[in-house]
Amino acid sequence: MSQKTQHFGQTLPLNEPAKRMSIMTKPIGSACNIDCSYCYYLSKEELLGHEKGCSSQMSPDMLEHYIKSYIEQQNYPEIVFHWQGGEPTLLGVNFFRDVVRLQKKYRPKGVKIENNLQTNGTLLNDEWGKFLSKNNFMVGLSLDGPEMIHNTYRTNRSGRGTFKQTMRGVEVLHKYQVNFATLTCVNNISGANPLEVYRFLRDVVRSPQMQFIPIVEPKSFRDTAPQHWPESEVLFQGMPETEPSHPNSIVEPWCVSASQWGTFLCTIFDEWLENDIGQVNVPYFEACVESWMGRVNPLCVFAPMCGKGLAIEHNGDVFACDHYVYPEYKLGNINDVALEDLQFSKGQQEFGNAKEGTLPKQCRECKYQFACFGECPKNRFIKTLEGESGLNYLCGGWKQFFTHIDPYISMIVATMGYPVHKGINADAMKIRFK
Ligand code: SF4
Ligand code: SF4
């Protein structure tokens, strides 16, 4: 009989590897009540061959099967569900009441279940506020900045900005003390206004956590899967056509450019460092501390491996990652294959290992490889100056950012009393701590 240990009352064999999952769940597919210009998910219905006019809502049977499988096939004391869209609040509060009921039904004794809900906030009202608060949902709210910036791309179907409705959602979250984080898309407009965006989120929204997502999409993103870009369309780093503003750009005009992204991050980092460190949570900055300490960065984009976060569509189709919902990256359907077999399949392991395994020489020799790991592979669609494919479109921006924060992150790590294992001060700080 194997040795056992206890986690929250759940008995786990010590020699059994931890089985933990993280799946972006799309219970309403790509259906949304608004029509953001840069949405990477609106085109999925056609791409995935879902029949037009068919309901893209997860059926009650599928929902129960999924919740049961997701719980039963993990042996971890804490299980987190991630609900995303499209716009999941279109399903109504009752759908999520059912979710909570089913989670209670299948929850083993002592296991803690949590829920994250990503929303544009426009449909949140008192009923939602009470439900989210009572059931301790963590909400990710998409909000791009002050009104002019938010309304540039986050519009409804008639082209009107959604800022006012989203801010009503913010009021609901504060009123009912719902845990939330803001998720801000950094595009060519918000990217040019870093301080306006940051100060608005800090002072007006009072965002407890600020997540920033660089908006990067090649023009072919609606029907061409990452890593399937035609070689002839892969341009060298620094070519004018890599700029979103170029008339023949390879990316959509609303994308953030590499240099804009670097300047955006450096500018808000300086503001954070001077005024808000310890008060405002910016995961990019806090996670870098881990990298400089020599640990694996908790954010997947900066980690050496992918593959731990899958995506599931409303019909049970499972994909390698939320950013890889393309037919080429479909792992299977949970009606045919057990979720854990999909998660731990050979294909998914290869997908995960490719993040580090396919880095071009420029990344392998980069002094910030330890912090960057080539960032997300879906953005690796340019060539290095030596002509090697697989370089990240944002490389220049990431290098600018890591170079800028290096001495400050070293100081933060040292102030916390830990040795600095990475970056320009690594050796000096190690000697200090010997
Ligand atoms: S593909 Fe990108 S988003 Fe998906 S796990 Fe890898 S780094 Fe993360
Ligand atoms: S900064 Fe650029 S060269 Fe360095 S690891 Fe990141 S993408 Fe590669």
Establish if 373 belongs to a structural domain. yes
Ligand 1 pocket mutation, candidates 310, 321, 349, criterion most atoms within 8 A of CB: 321
Establish if 42 belongs to a structural domain. no
Q: What is the DSSP letter of 38?
A: T
Give pLDDT tens digits for 124-168: 999 999 999 999 999 999 999 999 999 999 988 888 999 999 999
Please give the single-letter amino acid code of residue 286. E
Establish if 193 belongs to a structural domain. no
Decide: 189 and 252 in contact? Cβ < 8 Å. Answer: no
User: How far is the C-alpha of 76 from the C-alpha of 90, rounded, in Å?
Assistant: 31
Residue appearing with tokens 């030596």: 386
- Ligand whose nearest atom lies closest to the CA of 394: 2
Per the structure, the count of domains in the chain is 1
235, with CB counted inside 10 A (0-12, 13-18, 19+), is middle
| Catalytic residue of the set 322, 336, 406, 427 | 322
Rounded (10°) angle between helices 163-175 and 126-134: 40
Residue 29 confidence (pLDDT): 84
Establish if 409 belongs to a structural domain. yes
Closest ligand 2 atom, residue 368 Cα: 4
Residue 31 confidence (pLDDT): 82
Residue 9 confidence (pLDDT): 36
In the reported structure, the alpha carbon of residue 74 is separated from the centroid of ligand 2 by a whole-number distance in angstroms of 34
Establish if 389 belongs to a structural domain. yes
Establish if 282 belongs to a structural domain. yes
What tokens were used for 44? 């999925």
Mean pLDDT of the chain: 91
Distances (CA, A) of 134 to 77, 139, 140, 177: 21, 13, 17, 10
- Ligand whose nearest atom lies closest to the CA of 372: 2
Establish if 372 belongs to a structural domain. yes
List, chain by chain if needed, residues with CB within 6 Å of any ligand 1 atom: 300-301, 306, 309, 321, 323, 355, 376-378
In the reported structure, the alpha carbon of residue 367 is separated from the centroid of ligand 2 by a whole-number distance in angstroms of 8
Establish if 115 belongs to a structural domain. no
Closest ligand 2 atom, residue 362 Cα: 3
In the reported structure, the alpha carbon of residue 302 is separated from the centroid of ligand 1 by a whole-number distance in angstroms of 9
Q: Whose CA is nearest to atom 1 of ligand 2?
A: 399
User: How far is the C-alpha of 138 from the C-alpha of 157, rounded, in Å?
Assistant: 28
What tokens were used for 43? 């085109």
Beta bridge partners of 23: 310
Residues 6 or more apart whose CB falls under 8 angstroms from that of 250 comprise: 218, 219, 233, 235, 241, 242, 381
- Ligand whose nearest atom lies closest to the CA of 226: 1
395 lines ligand 2 (CB under 6 A): yes
Residue appearing with tokens 């990477």: 40
User: How far is the C-alpha of 434 from the C-alpha of 430, rounded, in Å?
Assistant: 6
> Rounded to 5, what percent of the chain is helix, strand, coil?
40, 15, 45
State which residues form the domain around 406. 219-251+257-296+361-416
Beta bridge partners of 281: 209
In the reported structure, the alpha carbon of residue 337 is separated from the centroid of ligand 1 by a whole-number distance in angstroms of 23
How would you list the strands of the sheet with 330-333, edge to edge?
Answer: 210-214, 179-186, 138-142, 112-119, 78-83, 22-25, 309-312, 317-319, 330-333
> Under DSSP, is residue 272 helix (H, G, I), strand (E, B) or coil?
helix
291 lines ligand 2 (CB under 6 A): no
Residues 6 or more apart whose CB falls under 8 angstroms from that of 332 comprise: 317, 318, 341, 342, 345
10 lines ligand 2 (CB under 6 A): no
User: How far is the C-alpha of 208 from the C-alpha of 32, rounded, in Å?
Assistant: 25
What tokens were used for 339? 């979720």
Q: What is the pLDDT along the chain (434 residues), one digit of tens a residue?
A: 333 333 333 444 556 777 888 999 999 988 888 777 777 666 666 666 665 445 589 999 999 999 999 999 998 899 999 999 889 999 999 999 999 999 999 999 999 999 999 999 999 999 999 999 999 999 999 999 999 999 999 988 888 999 999 999 999 999 999 999 999 999 999 999 999 999 999 999 999 999 999 999 999 888 899 999 988 889 999 999 999 999 999 999 999 999 999 999 999 999 999 999 999 999 999 999 999 999 999 999 999 999 889 999 999 999 999 999 999 999 999 999 999 999 989 999 999 999 999 999 999 999 999 999 999 999 999 999 999 999 999 999 999 999 999 999 999 999 999 999 999 888 666 655 55
Total Cβ atoms within 10 A of residue 44: 20
399 lines ligand 2 (CB under 6 A): yes
* Residue 322 among the catalytic residues: yes
Going by C-alpha positions, the residue among 198, 187, 333 that lies closest to residue 260 is 187
364, with CB counted inside 10 A (0-12, 13-18, 19+), is exposed
User: How far is the C-alpha of 256 from the C-alpha of 278, rounded, in Å?
Assistant: 28
What tokens were used for 391? 């370089």
Closest ligand 1 atom, residue 321 Cα: 4
Beta bridge partners of 319: 311, 330
In the reported structure, the alpha carbon of residue 401 is separated from the centroid of ligand 2 by a whole-number distance in angstroms of 11
Closest ligand 1 atom, residue 299 Cα: 8
- Ligand whose nearest atom lies closest to the CA of 374: 2
Q: Whose CA is nearest to atom 6 of ligand 1?
A: 306
* DSSP string computed for 312-375: E-TTSEEES-GGG-SGGGEEEETTTS-HHHHHT-HHHHHHHHHHHHT--HHHHT-TTHHHHTTS
User: How far is the C-alpha of 53 from the C-alpha of 44, rounded, in Å?
Assistant: 14
Ligand 2 pocket mutation, candidates 259, 291, 366, 393, criterion most atoms within 8 A of CB: 366
374 lines ligand 2 (CB under 6 A): yes
User: How far is the C-alpha of 367 from the C-alpha of 433, rounded, in Å?
Assistant: 22
Give the angle subtended at the CA of 145 by the CAs of 142 and 149, to the nearest 5°.
110
Give the angle subtended at the CA of 122 by the CAs of 116 and 124, to the nearest 5°.
60
User: How far is the C-alpha of 259 from the C-alpha of 187, rounded, in Å?
Assistant: 12
